[in-house]
Amino acid sequence: EVQLLESGGGLVQPGGSLRLSCVASGFTFSSYAMTWVRQAPGKGLEWVSSIGGGGGSGGSSHHADSVKGRFTISRGNSRNTLYLQMNSLRAEDTALYYCAKGYSDLSRASLQYWGQGTLVTVSS
């Protein structure tokens, strides 16, 4: 059974940093693309970042324009863990952050499984 468990969310001041983690189990983590998607309170889904699979430290990464230069996606295949380093946080980054597994090693692959999310609140 595929499981994705996010952690690392919390309350942070504007301009601060957080690192989210997503521990995966039930599949060969290194072989699949992984994605972060966020959902602001009462709003729709917003893609944040994706990273390809295929071995090593991971494939190519992609970030939404809204987070480019501030957020960095990475993966630790030996630990079956996906990360999102978030710097220079803004109030508009407040959201529930979901980790999702792709159908294949390509970043553009459908999001086959989702975690339950971790809440990030940016406020002074």
- Residue 28 structure tokens: 């060969």
Judging by beta carbons within 10 Å of its beta carbon (0-12, 13-18, 19+), is residue 43 exposed, middle or buried? exposed
117, 118, 120, 122: which one binds other proteins (CB under 8 A): 117
- Residue 90 structure tokens: 């803004």
Closest by Cα among 76, 84, 69 to 120: 84
Give the shortest CB-81-to-other proteins separation in angstroms.
19
118 binds other proteins (CB under 8 A): no
Q: Which of residues 25-84 bind other proteins (CB under 8 A)?
A: 35, 37, 44-47, 50, 62-65
The residues of the shown chain that bind other proteins, judged by CB under 8 A, are 35, 37, 44-47, 50, 62-65, 98, 103, 107-108, 110-117
